Amino acid sequence: MTTTETAAGVLPVLADVPPTELRVAVLGVGMMGADHVARLQSRISGARVVVVSDAFAEKADGVAAGVPGCRVVADPPAAIADPEVDAVVIATPGQFHQDQVLACIQHGKPVLCEKPLTMDAESSLAVVRAEDEYAARTGRRLVQVGFMRRFDPEYAQLRALIASGEIGEPLVMHCAHRNPSVPSHFTSEMMITDSVVHEVDVARFLLDEEAAAVTVLRPRATRHAVAGESDPLFVLLEMASGRMVDVECFVSTGIAYEVRTEVVAEDGIALIGLDTGLVRQSRGPAGAVRSSTITPSFKERFGRAYDIEVQRWVDAARRGGIDGPGVWDGYAAAVVAEAGVQALRTGGRTEVRMAQR
Ligand code: ISE
């Protein structure tokens, strides 16, 4: 069988994109799901949303009302099994992902599952095994995990630069991951599982190796932190080859959304994520100022990445496959996040124990 290497790993080469439109069910139409519905409707070609599902009926009704020909199917398993649904986007809360992804595999339907793949490493591994078994039977992969940063043009450029060898061997990576604010239920553990998990995926994506150990330090907390939680956190990932990745994760900056990644290599240094856009110079009360606007949230900062991710997923799903991070990437991120939570609780260095594929 012919194969090709993509962001998802080695995949069978699939036939050309078929002429029919992909009929998509979107499960969960909260902020992220509703954003995907809007994107599929207005900016993505080759697909249309035919079904939406949400635990809150009014939400589903409201979103469906804005999409011609879209039905509400309240029960997610029924939406997945629906004969008029070809593929599924999962944007429900994480605790529902395992069952919903397994149902998609069972029905042989391509699925784009927002992160996390599941709530812990063990259940993510169960999904890996189920999809591996399906792939062994059919030669097809079905599950793409929503690590959208891989589709961000700056991250893609940085990866290509590293791969070109122009800056030599990467040694250290510095990351900043800052949110202006988080809801009051957002704990320090969630800073690892919900936020730093993106840097875990980025480190694996850029450096092409697994993390071997995690240490989490708690700097002095901001007075704006959620009560009783440590914010910011400082996370150190030791990669298998000895490279190190540090992440300052700060989710109550009160400013804007910032994600910065700097790779320090033997023969050069590269930085992405300055997010400057237009830089304006003007005279303010305290003298001349140079200013630009920072994106307010990840929806804007990674809007382009989401569009590219979903378009590539649609194109691949129309051919019956995926084109992006898969179940193993979801599992690997879950294992490292779990080690990170352990490191946060104990204050010690925690080794990452990954299963064999
Ligand atoms: C959120 O869930 C995301 O996935 C964003 O990309 C991340 O930056 C944010 O910190 C998370 O809470």
Residue 149 Cα: closest atom of ligand 1:
6
Choose which residue among 179, 197, 235 to substitute to test ligand 1 binding: the one with the highest number of ligand atoms within 8 A of its C-beta.
179
Q: How far is CA 49 from the centre of its chain?
A: 21
Q: What is the pLDDT of residue 2?
A: 44
pLDDT at 211 over 60: yes
Distance 184 CA to ligand 1 centre (A): 15
Residue 148 Cα: closest atom of ligand 1:
6
Domain check: are 133 and 34 in the same one? yes
Confirm whether 180 is domain-assigned: yes
20 confidence band (pLDDT: 50, 70, 90): confident
Domain check: are 112 and 185 in the same one? no
For the Cβ of 97 lying below 6 angstroms from any atom of ligand 1, the answer is no
Residue 57 carries which side chain, given as an amino acid letter?
Answer: A
Alpha carbon nearest to ligand 1 atom 2, residue: 194
Q: What is the pLDDT of residue 16?
A: 61
The residue segments making up the domain with residue 197 are: 166-296
Number of domains the chain is built from: 2
Angle at 325 between CA 322 and CA 326, to 5 degrees: 70
pLDDT at 13 over 50: no
CATH code of the domain containing 187: 3.30.360.10
Residue 257 Cα: closest atom of ligand 1:
8
CATH code of the domain containing 121: 3.40.50.720
Residues in Cβ contact with 111 at an 8 Å cutoff, skipping those fewer than 6 apart: 87, 88, 89, 90, 100, 101, 104, 105, 142, 143, 144
ω into 116 cis (within 30 of 0): yes
pLDDT at 71 over 80: yes
For the Cβ of 194 lying below 6 angstroms from any atom of ligand 1, the answer is yes
Q: What is the pLDDT of residue 277?
A: 87
Domain check: are 112 and 221 in the same one? no
Residue 177 Cα: closest atom of ligand 1:
8
Distance 330 CA to ligand 1 centre (A): 15
Confirm whether 321 is domain-assigned: yes
pLDDT at 3 over 60: no
8-state DSSP, 216: E
Is the Cα torsion angle 296, 299, 302, 307 positive or negative in sign? Answer: negative
Domain check: are 132 and 195 in the same one? no
Q: How far is CA 176 from the centre of its chain?
A: 16
Alpha carbon nearest to ligand 1 atom 8, residue: 195
Domain check: are 141 and 180 in the same one? no
Residues in Cβ contact with 303 at an 8 Å cutoff, skipping those fewer than 6 apart: none
Residue 186 Cα: closest atom of ligand 1:
12
Helix pair 97-106, 121-138: axis angle to 10 deg: 10
Domain check: are 292 and 309 in the same one? no
Domain check: are 315 and 291 in the same one? no
Looking at 241, 275, 296, which one is the last position of a domain?
A: 296
Domain check: are 16 and 136 in the same one? yes
The beta strands (E) that lie in the chain are given as: 3-6, 9-12, 22-27, 47-53, 71-72, 87-90, 111-113, 143-145, 170-178, 211-217, 233-239, 244-250, 258-265, 268-272, 280-284, 287-291, 350-351
Among the listed residues 177, 204, 163, 211, the one whose alpha carbon sits nearest the alpha carbon of residue 297: 177
Q: What is the pLDDT of residue 10?
A: 47
Domain check: are 28 and 111 in the same one? yes
Residue 195 Cα: closest atom of ligand 1:
10
Alpha carbon nearest to ligand 1 atom 3, residue: 195
For the Cβ of 198 lying below 6 angstroms from any atom of ligand 1, the answer is yes
Please give the C-alpha separations between residue 236 and each of 100, 156, 197, 203, 211, in angstroms, as whole numbers.
Answer: 33, 23, 12, 11, 10
pLDDT at 227 over 60: yes
pLDDT in tens, 249-274: 999 999 999 999 999 999 999 999 99
Residues in Cβ contact with 73 at an 8 Å cutoff, skipping those fewer than 6 apart: 25, 51, 52, 53, 79, 82
For the Cβ of 298 lying below 6 angstroms from any atom of ligand 1, the answer is yes
Angle at 46 between CA 40 and CA 50, to 5 degrees: 55
Confirm whether 122 is domain-assigned: yes
Contact between 260 and 272 (Cβ < 8 Å): yes
8 confidence band (pLDDT: 50, 70, 90): very low
